[in-house]
Amino acid sequence: MPQGVVEIGKSLDATHTLFKKPRRSNSGQTVFFEKPVHILAGGSVVANREGEGPVGNFFDNVIADHDKEKNFEHAEIRMLKESILHAVQKSGLLLSDIDMLLSGDLLNQITTSNYVARDLGLPYIGLYSACSTMSQALAIGGCFLNAGYFDHVACATVSHFATAERQYRHPLEYGAQRPPYAQWTVTGAGCTVLARDVKATTGSGVRLTSATFGKVVDMGITDVANMGAAMAPAALDTLLALLDDTGYRPEEFDLILTGDLGKLGSDVLRELAAEQGYALGQNYTDCGTLIYDNTQKCYQGGSGAGCSASVFNSYILDRMQEGYYKRVAFLATGALMSPQSCYQGESIPCISHAVVVER
């Protein structure tokens, strides 16, 4: 009888490999973490504008845009590095306890992450997922720890207003005007330290319980100032997969948190979700709308990989630790175009990766 074929009438042993297949999701996009993936701590470093915003008191450090550094790129490197060190320190670990750094950023060739990985001397996986890097890193890190490959993984990302503007749009010196539907790239970094195991006395009490990997969604938008509208359909696509796979209804989350859709993009997501029969209520918000207030003249709100990274690793984790939020769906959202692809007439491909975080 060929291997793997079960004789009819013969009962299967419960340890048979057929039963060992991990729980699979309907969409195939979700991985369930049946073994604990603990969040030990989050670290966050931002610049002055973010520090003056509504959640400014929750960040670990607020520094000037180019404080003591010779250029904006070096300031970005410093912010990412400091956010990682804050997270490691708050975890009660040493840097040498970190087995793997998962990081990416918005700059060409993710040089910020590369130089930080060099300076910290950690095994390193470079990621590119634009502004959805934070949840992509958490999703991969969760997969690694759930499988027991490592003990501690650091997931991090960063963005910087000045480096992003001159790379993606115009050097600041041009003084180019922005349309009212634009967003403001956050100058900030965030890092989460994940652990496979946790001593009873340490840890934030917060765990990752599943990860949903997104697909690229492109509705044909070509205006690079209109990121929120471009990314909303990608957020919807991943949210629908997450709800279908986990079986949760939207109201069963204390918070559904998208990355950086901004005010306009959030409204678009609400409308798109309503069309699918899901009314997103008061428990839905967006990091881009949380980080600045209306007096700060940031148009539709924050964007950039550092937006969701800094908000998640400060305000959100703090609120979860104190028990205010018990179950959060975190969907960072990314627009994956380059200036070159836009000049060539391509539209903006977008993606959103999601993790469910529970206390």
- Least CB distance to a second copy at residue 315 (A): 27
Dihedral sign from CA coordinates of 292, 333, 89, 314: positive
Burial of 46 (0-12, 13-18, 19+ CB in 10 A): buried
Report d(CA 243, CA 248) in Å as an integer: 5
Supply 6's token pair. 């079960």
Quick check: 99 binds a second copy (CB under 8 A)?
Answer: yes
Report helix, strand or coil for 136.
helix
Dihedral sign from CA coordinates of 116, 95, 58, 41: positive
7-26: contacts with a second copy (CB under 8 A)? 20-22
Quick check: 181 binds a second copy (CB under 8 A)?
Answer: no
Interface pick for a second copy out of 59, 144, 278, 299 (rule CB under 8 A): 144
Using the rule CB under 8 A, give the single segment among 125-133, 225-233, 245-253, 280-288 that binds a second copy: 125-133
- Least CB distance to a second copy at residue 174 (A): 18
Supply 173's token pair. 């010196």
Interface pick for a second copy out of 148, 171, 281, 323 (rule CB under 8 A): 148
Supply 125's token pair. 């996986």
Task: List the x/- string, 30-49, binding to a second copy by CB under 8 A.
Answer: -x------------------
Dihedral sign from CA coordinates of 283, 286, 287, 289: negative
Comparing CB distances to a second copy, the nearer of 115 and 296 is 115
Quick check: 110 binds a second copy (CB under 8 A)?
Answer: yes
Interface pick for a second copy out of 61, 209, 338, 358 (rule CB under 8 A): 338
Quick check: 214 binds a second copy (CB under 8 A)?
Answer: yes
The values of phi and psi at residue 354, to 5°, are -130, 150
Comparing CB distances to a second copy, the nearer of 67 and 322 is 67
- Least CB distance to a second copy at residue 199 (A): 9
Interface pick for a second copy out of 3, 11, 15, 282 (rule CB under 8 A): 3
- Least CB distance to a second copy at residue 297 (A): 28
Supply 87's token pair. 């997270």
Supply 266's token pair. 């959030």
Contacts with 299 (C-beta within 8 Å, 6 or more apart), sequence order? 178, 180, 181, 182, 183, 184, 262
Supply 114's token pair. 């590369």
Q: Which residues bind a second copy (CB under 8 A)?
A: 2-3, 20-22, 28-29, 31, 71, 73-74, 99-100, 104, 107-111, 114-115, 117-118, 121-130, 136, 140, 143-144, 146-150, 167, 200, 213-218, 336-341, 344, 346, 349, 351
